Amino acid sequence: MSFPASPPQVPAQGAAPVPGRFVSPVPVQRAHLGHALAAEWTKIRSVRSTVWTLLLMAGFILGVGGIAVLYSRGSTKPGDDFLSLGFGGFLIGQISVIALGVLTISSEYGTGLIRTTLTACPQRLRMLTAKALVFFALVLTLGTGTIALFVLLASAVLGGTAGAPPTGTLVRTVLGGGLYLAVIGLMSLAVGALLRHSAGAIATMIGFVLLPIILGLFAGDRIGRFLIEYSPVSISAAIFGEALDPSTNGWQLLGVLTLITAVLLTAAGVAVARRDV
Amino acid sequence: MIEARGLTKRYGPHTAVDQLTFQVRPGVVTGFLGPNGSGKSTTMRMILGLDDPTSGTVTIGGYPYRRLPNAGRTVGALLDAKAVHGGRSARSHLLSLAQLAGVPRQRVDHVLDVVGLRDVARRRAGEFSLGMGQRLGIAGALLGDPEVLLFDEPVNGLDPEGILWVRTLMKGLAAEGRTVFVSSHLMSEMALTADHLVVIGQGRLLADMGVREFLDRHSTGFARVRTPDGAGEQRRLLAKVLTDAGARTEPEPDGALKVSGLPLPRISDLAHQHDVRLHELSPHQASLEEAYMRLTQSEVTYRSGVPAAGAAEEPWGTAPHPYGTAPGGFGESEV
């Protein structure tokens, strides 16, 4: 392979040499959020880590959930909430979403690509917003779809004995589960933007998911109960109908998680806008 | 047009860029020269709005970078050839940049052709050699067909063919009326590529002038004088005579004498008057590289306060400059 013959033709074809100030013959259009969304979509679909992490997520939810469903064929009674069988796979599957959320932004910092990105688009909040929206939409779609697929499989196997779950439960598990994955992923993206370091941010997020429930066991009565109830593990359980406190439901807990995510995203926005890159 | 005014960047007690004031004009290639660690990349990042200056300003076409109406179409930059996601193909990398800046997607194939990466456009950038990475970075800079171009060490990792290509490219871009700002730590490269030089050392401006002017000002001409072999007595006599006449002499390892400060005919006359036979009397001009080394080394010496060995006989306070170059070209007067 070699360089093309010189002299290189840089301007678009047909450009006449202009004396004085250079004016590009390529039509100029003012860039906006739509452009940034298209760019982020190109980025996220053009790396293998996206495909791998999302396949892993689907594999855990369908695989672990599927095994649980098959094992409970004999013991299911009419009226049983068999959707809770999906909890285990969902709990593990969210780790892949966390990794993808972090990598979506930390890989740009890790390689230095963020400088190229912010040179092409110095509106840093636009870049962050586009990343967050594209990632959120992707995980929400695939997360909801995967859980829906799990529910279909579980219903096919156990629905005959247990009967169809009520609509409210279905919506909570399918849409709530998809939203939970998208929100925890978005939180990971915010942490990735704040820490700018892949391994550190992934470890922080896994700590955030697991630590409250472990600390809760050792903390005092009130704090311990609070930590356990609002831990991501408990929220996941509530989405699958296994709430610790029957007076709270999955949606309320999801609201708390969303609130924390909103705070972290705002912090990430401030940090990204202000910091040197 | 890039314009820096009093541009300063401090990291704690360390000053990376110190009160830089310069202009980069369209239509010529401006070389941004300085040793490694002299603040070139920090300056480039401030121009591109990536780092905020501690004080001072830098604008492109009158705007601070982050307020440019259409930055991606106005300015193109190559900062680091390795700054790509290794898992993404060259084409996807460029496509995402084009989309981000609102550049028509046909430009992607066009710039891939320009840099000669069309055939490998679908390969993952992580498999690229450093030279191919540089070309991908250059392609990214050209994507928006921008009016202002910045290249940080663009010839790193390129083979001679590639270096020649980059040189032709830069000159071509400038000839179209664009502003081209190219950093390098290699004077020899800049001498061949740039028309204008901005030289910094330890974050401070050392020179801002045309290449020709830089050479005239910072490289002293000298004569090489050779007396017959084995005639050490003659050489010592000649050295004394020339020094008395106001020249600076310096013996060279091969027995010749390096003389500066006297025109050639005068050296010949003095030798003749004192009956010294000459086997060589030739004019020489220090290369741009030597001039640059002298300039930046002197800056280092200034800072550390330890005189270089060759300048030890002249106390710092008495000479306008320890290396006898013309005063006023750099140093305190212009900082």
- What pLDDT was estimated at residue B258? 87
- What pLDDT was estimated at residue B315? 34
* Structure tokens given for A189: 């993206």
Which one has a higher pLDDT value, A178 or B234?
A178
Number of domains into which chain A is organized: 1
Res. A216: pLDDT tops 60:
yes
Q: Do A116 and B92 touch (CB under 8 A)?
A: no
Question: What is the pLDDT averaged over residues A33-38?
Answer: 97
Give yes or no for B158 touching A (CB within 8 A): no
- The verdict on residue A206 lying in a domain is yes
**Cβ proximity of A20 and B141 under 8 Å:** no
pLDDT per residue of chain B (335 residues) written in tens, 0 to 9: 999 999 999 999 999 999 999 999 999 999 999 988 899 999 999 999 999 999 999 999 999 999 998 999 999 999 998 899 999 999 999 999 999 999 999 999 999 999 999 999 999 999 999 899 999 999 999 999 999 999 999 998 889 999 999 999 999 999 999 999 999 988 888 888 999 999 998 899 999 999 888 877 776 678 899 988 777 888 889 999 999 998 888 888 888 888 888 888 999 999 999 999 899 998 887 666 777 777 777 655 444 444 444 333 333 333 333 333 333 333 333 32
Contacts of A249 (CB under 8 A, 6+ apart): A172, A238, A243
**Cβ proximity of B262 and B291 under 8 Å:** no
| Cα B291 from Cα A79, distance rounded (Å) | 90
- What pLDDT was estimated at residue A15? 39
- What pLDDT was estimated at residue B219? 65
Res. A130: pLDDT tops 70:
yes
Q: Which of residues 116-135 of A touch B (CB under 8 A)?
A: 116-123, 127
The 10 Å Cβ neighbour count of residue B19 is: 16
Query: What is the rounded (10 degree) CA torsion for A147, A152, A156, A158?
Result: 40
- What pLDDT was estimated at residue A33? 96
Strand order in the sheet with B221-226: B248-251, B257-260, B221-226, B280-285
- Scanning every residue of chain A, which has its alpha carbon at the shortest distance from the alpha carbon of B137? A116
Res. A223: pLDDT tops 50:
yes
pLDDT tens column, A245-276: 777 778 888 999 999 999 999 999 999 999 99
Report the helix count and the strand count for chain B, using DSSP H and E: 11, 13
Domain span holding position A222: 38-274
Q: Do A31 and B70 touch (CB under 8 A)?
A: yes
**Cβ proximity of B245 and B262 under 8 Å:** yes
The closest CB to that of B82, out of A7, A22, A112, belongs to A112
- What pLDDT was estimated at residue B272? 93
Q: Do A107 and B51 touch (CB under 8 A)?
A: no
- The verdict on residue A95 lying in a domain is yes
- The verdict on residue A236 lying in a domain is yes
Give yes or no for A19 touching B (CB within 8 A): yes
Choose among A270, A274, A269, A277: nearest CA to A129: A269
Contacts of B97 (CB under 8 A, 6+ apart): A39, A116, A117, A120, B72, B103, B140, B143
Query: What is the CB-side half-sphere exposure of residue A216 using CA atoms within 13 A?
Result: 18
Give yes or no for B1 touching A (CB within 8 A): no
DSSP assignment of B7-73, as one string? EEEEETTEEEEEEEEEEE-TTSEEEEE--TTSSHHHHHHHHTTSS--SEEEEEETTB-GGG-TTHHH
- Scanning every residue of chain B, which has its alpha carbon at the shortest distance from the alpha carbon of A49? B87
- What pLDDT was estimated at residue A11? 43
Choose among A121, A104, A126: nearest CA to A45: A104
Which residue is it, tokens 């992490």?
Answer: A53
Q: What's B246's DSSP letter?
A: T
- The verdict on residue A30 lying in a domain is no
Question: Which residue ranges form the domains of chain B, and what is each CATH number?
Answer: 2-216 (3.40.50.300), 221-285 (3.30.70.100)
B80 phi/psi in degrees, rounded to 5:
-150, 120
Task: With cut-offs at 50, 70 and 90, classify the pLDDT of residue A3.
Answer: low
* Residue-wise burial string across B79-91, b where 16 or more C-beta atoms lie within 10 A, e elsewhere: bbbbbbbebbbbb
- What pLDDT was estimated at residue A70? 94
The 10 Å Cβ neighbour count of residue A251 is: 14
- The verdict on residue A97 lying in a domain is yes
Q: Do A8 and B172 touch (CB under 8 A)?
A: yes
Lowest mean pLDDT among A21-25, A37-41, A86-90, B68-72: A21-25
- What pLDDT was estimated at residue B254? 83
- The verdict on residue A4 lying in a domain is no
Which residue is it, tokens 């600076």?
Answer: B248
- What pLDDT was estimated at residue B331? 34
- The verdict on residue A144 lying in a domain is yes
**Cβ proximity of A98 and A182 under 8 Å:** no
Give yes or no for A9 touching B (CB within 8 A): yes
The closest CB to that of A119, out of B77, B162, B168, belongs to B77
Strand partners, B62: none
- What pLDDT was estimated at residue B319? 33
Lowest mean pLDDT among A55-59, A67-71, A220-224, B18-22: A220-224
Q: Do A122 and B177 touch (CB under 8 A)?
A: no
Mutation site, B8, B96, B122, B150, interface A, largest A CB count within 10 A: B96
- What pLDDT was estimated at residue A4? 57
- B61 phi-psi bin (left φ>0, alpha ψ -120 to 50, beta other): left
The closest CB to that of B114, out of A10, A18, A19, belongs to A10
- The verdict on residue A7 lying in a domain is no
Question: What is the pLDDT averaged over residues A169-173?
Answer: 93
> What contacts 24+ positions apart, CB below 8 Å, involve A74-77?
A76/A158, A76/A161, A76/A162, A77/A161, A77/A162
Q: Which of residues 294-323 of B touch A (CB under 8 A)?
A: none
Q: Do B145 and A115 touch (CB under 8 A)?
A: no
Strand partners, B11: B14
Q: Do A122 and B71 touch (CB under 8 A)?
A: yes
Which residue is it, tokens 């070389």?
Answer: B31
Strand order in the sheet with B2-11: B14-24, B2-11, B55-60
ipTM for the whole complex: 0.89
Q: Which of residues 164-223 of A touch B (CB under 8 A)?
A: none
